[in-house]
Chains A and B, each alone.
Chain A
Amino acid sequence: MMPFLTQLPRDRLTLMAGPCMLESEELARHVIEALLPICRELSVTYVFKSSFDKANRTSANSSRGPGINHGLSLLGKLREDYQIPVVTDIHSPEQARLASQVADILQIPAFLCEDKALLQASAQTGRLIQVKKGQTLPPEGLASIKTFLDSVEGCGQVILCERGTSQGYHNLVVDFRNLDVMRNLGCPVVFDATHSVQLPGAASGASSGKREHVPSLARAAAAIGIDGLFMEVHKNPDQAQSDKDTQLTPDVAIQILQQVVDLDRCRRKWTV
Chain B
Amino acid sequence: MNSICHTVLWEKRPAERMPSNTEAPQSFVATFKGKENETPEDLSHGVVVVAHPEDLRTPLSVQGSGYYIPGAFCRQGDILEAVKQTRKPVWIERGSFLSPRDMTHIVSRFEGSPSLTIVEAGSHMGYDDRVLDLRSLNLYETWGAKTALSLTDLVFGGTHKSSFRPTWEDDATLQESYIKMLLRISSIENLGLVIKSLPNPSSNQNDTRTFDLLINQVKEVCGGGPRP
| A111-B97 contact in complex given A59-B105, A140-B164, C-beta closer than 8 Å | yes
Contact B164 A117 (CB under 8 A): no
Q: Which of B53, B57, B99, B101 contacts A91 (CB 8 A)?
A: B53
Most buried by A among B18, B52, B53, B96: B53
Are A144 and B17 within 8 A (Cβ)?
A: yes
Q: Could you say which residues of chain B place their CB within 8 Å of the CB of A170?
A: 99
B residues 4-62 touching A (CB-CB < 8 Å): 14, 16-19, 21-22, 52-54, 56-57
Q: Which residue of B has the minimal Cβ distance to A172?
A: B97
Contacts of A267 in B (CB 8 A): none
List the A side residues contacting B19 at CB < 8 Å.
Answer: 114-116
Among A56, A57, A58, A135, the one with the most B-chain Cβ atoms within 10 Å of its Cβ is: A56
**A57 x B97 contact (CB < 8 A):** no
Q: Which A82-115 residues have a C-beta within 8 angstroms of B?
A: 91-94, 111-112, 114-115
Whether B132 is near chain A, meaning CB under 8 Å from some CB there, is no
> Are B22 and A92 in contact, with the CB atoms below 8 A?
no
User: Hey, which chain B residues are within 8 Å of A92, CB to CB?
Assistant: 53-54, 56, 78
Residues of B within 8 A of A141 (CB): 17, 159, 162
Alpha-carbon distance A165/B128, docked complex (angstroms): 12
User: Are A111 and B75 in contact, CB atoms less than 8 angstroms apart?
Assistant: yes
Q: Taking the nearest CB of chain A, how far is it from the CB of B162, in angstroms? A: 6
Q: Mark A61-95, 1 if CB is under 8 A from B, else 0.
A: 00010000000000000000000000000011110
Check if A144 sits within 8 Å of B54, measured CB to CB: no
A114 touches B75 (CB 8 A): no
- Which chain A residue has the least Cβ–Cβ distance from B98? A201
Residues 167-216 of B contacting A (Cβ, < 8 Å): none
Cα A170 to Cα B99 in complex, Å, equals 7
Q: Does A200 contact B (CB under 8 A)?
A: yes
Shortest CB-to-CB span from B21 to chain A, Å, is 7
Which residues from B are CB-within-8-Å of A166? Answer: 96-97, 124
A148 near B56 with CB under 8 A, answer no
Query: Please, which residues of chain A bring their CB within 8 A of the CB of B2?
Result: none
Question: Taking the nearest CB of chain A, how far is it from the CB of B15, in angstroms?
Answer: 10
Q: Which of B119-152 contact A (CB under 8 A)?
A: 123-124, 127-128
Which residues of B lie under 8 Å from residue A136 when comparing CB positions?
Answer: 96-97, 124, 127
Measured between beta carbons, the chain A residues less than 8 angstroms from B95 are 111
Q: How far is the CA of A263 from the CA of B216 in the complex (A)?
A: 57
- Contacts A111-B95, A141-B159, A200-B97 given: A58-B108 contact, CB under 8 Å? no
Asked whether any CB of chain B lies closer than 8 Å to the CB of A169, the reply is: yes
Please measure, in the bound complex, the distance between the C-alpha atom of A167 and the C-alpha atom of B105, giving whole angstroms: 21
- Cβ–Cβ contact A138 & B159, under 8 A: yes
Please tell me if B63 contacts chain A, counting CB pairs below 8 Å. no
Contacting A55 at CB < 8 Å: which of B77, B98, B163, B164?
Answer: B77
Most chain B beta carbons < 10 A, residue from A139, A144, A148: A144
* Interface positions of B (Cβ within 8 A of A): 14, 16-19, 21-22, 52-54, 56-57, 72-73, 75-78, 80, 95-102, 105, 108-109, 123-124, 127-128, 159, 162-164
Q: Which 4 A-B residue pairs are closest in the complex by CB-CB distance?
A: A169-B99, A138-B127, A92-B53, A116-B22
List 6 additional contacts besides A56-B75, A116-B14, A140-B164; criterion CB under 8 Å: A59-B105, A112-B73, A136-B127, A138-B163, A141-B17, A169-B100
